[in-house]
Amino acid sequence: MSRSLRLLGAAVLSALIPAASAAAHVHTVAPGETLSGIAAANGLPTGALAAANGLPPTAFVITGTRLQVPAPGGGSAQPLGTAPPVTGGSGPVGGRVVRPGETLSGIAAANGLSTAALAGANGLSPTAMVIAGSRLRIPAASAPTEATGTPAAAGGSSAAPEPMGGYIVKPGDTLSGLALRSRVPVAQMAYMNGLRPDSRLIAGTPLKLPTGAPAAAPSGVAAPAPQVVPAAAPAPSSGRVSASDIHRIAGEHGVPGSLAAAIAWQESGFNNGMVSSANARGVMQVMPGTWDWVQSNLSKGRPLNPALPADNVRAGSLYLGQLLRDTGGDPAMAAAAYYQGLSSVRRIGMLPETRRYVANVLALRGRFGG
């Protein structure tokens, strides 16, 4: 073989072998890092890194948290684990078993689909984290999607809505000024956010404002990622729980495990290190004021550890149980109240983003045994 042919063969082989640096790996968050920065450093869109870890793209990552970093473009040219094709209403589709480490975006890319199209075909949010062993429907690449006017599967037409009333403090903001603009007492706003009424606000801090407050981020507009987390319970400590953990804890308090797990997945992807733009923390996205109220009124004297993921689930389950009692056991109304607030739902009904939240939760509930 001539030298030129050997060189040509080597060049072809090197082009076919992916670089080691592009492999999927685990990254431990260092002080000062952000989700967008880690994504950029690994050649990924922020949304892809967020989806691989069950987070919204605006999530605040906590130092010490371990993130799954997928390979750029995730997935293989020939999908593995493809089940025999089944027939759907829009044409042939394939049943696909999710393998450990795979992501929704990676599976979509490997099958020539947008993440939104694959999510819609399975009743998922495009940011959903897929569970190893679950089966996904793979629509034909030319199948009609929401963009062409054909409705997607229930609950999968759009991403999870932004937290209700989320606000990120800007330079010059004061607690009294925000309370005045939101038409609530300073003490009430301070209590809900785990602050003193005379606290000085630091730019980048997430706050929960009342539903419909004019100072809050407009509906459908993502608030910036929080940069400073107030020192209040519950703590957004690193760690995850499983669906079976949530079923067990919720069941201890008479709450349907499938409903609690669906809300937890929608809220945080089971990630206890998550802090939302509304200052909600942990697996069940419990706000400081809610944590204190649950501890005082529902925990029956049992102290809840603000750093334990299991007790974050317990606090959220206790609160969800109270909402179920307040709504006559209606899971849709209880989920709406969990997101929008019970008094707001009773006063003005479900807002459009609340209806989307409830649809997502009810669709997810079926995936967790409900």
Q: What is the pLDDT of residues 172-197, one digit of tens each?
A: 889 898 888 888 888 888 888 888 88
Percent of the chain with pLDDT over 70: 67
Report whether pLDDT(250) > 80. Answer: yes
Per-residue model confidence (pLDDT) at position 58: 66
Helical H runs in the chain? Answer: 3-16, 35-41, 46-52, 104-110, 115-121, 175-182, 186-192, 243-252, 257-268, 288-297, 309-326, 331-340, 342-348, 352-365
pLDDT of residue 226: 56
| pLDDT over threshold 50, residue 90 | no
| Residue 294 CB neighbours (<10 A) | 21
Q: Which residues pair with 68 in a beta bridge?
A: 26
Token pair of 111 as six digits: 């099958």
Higher pLDDT residue, 6 or 366? 366
**Which pLDDT band, with edges at 50, 70 and 90, does 309 fall under?**
very high
Task: Check: CB of residue 102 under 8 Å from CB of residue 132.
Answer: yes
What's the pLDDT band for 153 if we cut at 50, 70, 90?
very low
Least confident of 66-70, 78-82, 166-170, 202-206: 78-82
pLDDT at 263 over 90: yes
Give the pLDDT score at 145. Answer: 30
Q: Phi and psi for 31 in degrees, rounded to 5?
A: -55, 135
Instruction: Tell me: pLDDT of 48 over 50.
Output: yes
- Show contacts of 176-185: CB within 8 Å, 24+ apart: 178/207, 178/209, 178/215, 181/213, 181/214, 181/215, 182/209, 182/210, 182/213, 182/214, 182/215, 182/216, 183/210, 183/213, 184/210, 184/213
pLDDT above 50 for 109: yes
CB-based contact 272:237 (threshold 8 Å): yes
* pLDDT higher than threshold 60 for residue 111: yes
User: Annotated catalytic, 267?
Assistant: yes
Q: Is the pLDDT of residue 220 over 80?
A: no
How much is the mean pLDDT over the chain? 75
Catalytic residue among 102, 162, 267, 353: 267
**74 pLDDT exceeds 60?**
no
Residue 49 binned pLDDT confidence (cut-offs 50, 70, 90): confident
The answer, yes or no, to whether residue 286 has pLDDT greater than 80, is yes
Euclidean distance between CA atoms 276 and 125, whole angstroms:
17
**Does 148 have pLDDT greater than 80?**
no
Helix and strand numbers, DSSP H then E, in the chain: 14, 7
- Give the pair of three-digit tokens for residue 352: 């459009």
What is the helix (H) or strand (E) element at residue 93, kind and residue range?
A: strand 91-97
Rounded CA separation 35/88 (Å): 37
pLDDT, mean of residues 314-335: 96
The mean-pLDDT minimum among 12-26, 75-89, 104-118, 243-257 falls in 75-89
CA distance 41 to 297: 46
pLDDT at 288 over 80: yes
Write the burial class of residue 318 (CB in 10 Å: 0-12 exposed, 13-18 middle, 19+ buried).
buried
Question: Which pLDDT band, with edges at 50, 70 and 90, does 11 fall under?
Answer: very low
pLDDT of amino acid 50: 75
Q: Within a 10 A sphere around the Cβ of 16, how many other Cβ atoms? A: 7
Lowest mean pLDDT segment, chosen from 5-9, 12-16, 110-114, 274-278: 12-16
> What would the mean pLDDT of 162-176 be, rounded to a whole number?
81
Among the residue ranges 52-61, 167-176, 277-286, 326-335, the one predicted with the least confidence is 52-61
Q: Among the listed ranges 71-80, 113-122, 190-199, 350-359, which one has the minimum average pLDDT value?
A: 71-80
| Alpha carbon distance 266, 263 (integer Å) | 5
Number of Cβ within a 10 Å radius of residue 60: 23
- Residues whose CB falls within 8 Å of the CB of residue 107, separated by 6 or more in sequence, listed in order: 74, 75, 79, 96, 98, 118, 130, 136, 138
pLDDT on residue 150: 27
* Structural contact between residues 86 and 136, judged by C-beta atoms closer than 8 angstroms: no
| Cα–Cα distance, 184 to 235 (Å, whole number) | 26
Tally the residues of the chain. Answer: 370
